Amino acid sequence: MKSKVCVVMMLAGCFFLMTNAVNAQQMKSAEDRAKALTDKMKEKLSLDDSQYQKVYDVNLKYAKQNDELAVASGDKKAKAEKMKSQFEAKDKEMKGILNADQYKKYESIKQELKSEAETHKMKK
């Protein structure tokens, strides 16, 4: 269970970055991180202008929630569970914005990043 929680947290971080081009340490604000992620998603998923704004709003919402969670007190397991529920909620919102093909690609990208995170974890 502990390893699954770690993988979920690593996946969250990896998905947030989407590619090496987005470096969260360089982009401090939730707004900057949400814009960078949304820009990458626009490129990878071919978002139209309407979808872009909706995806940005969702990404911003969850970037702010992640910021709050990062500074919140509490044990790591509870935070990891909260983060997992946030990602599930975010996925549900994304499913309502993206068309079927885009959502399938979104899920595929997440799976690739999860595999990369697991491989990276095994190397440590």
Instruction: Name all contacts of 46-55 with Cβ < 8 Å and 24+ positions apart.
Output: 46/102, 47/98, 47/102, 51/97, 51/98, 51/102, 54/97, 55/94, 55/97, 55/98
What is the chain's mean pLDDT, rounded? Answer: 83
pLDDT digits (tens, 9 = 90+) for 23-81: 444 548 999 999 999 999 999 999 999 999 999 999 999 999 999 888 888 888 888 89
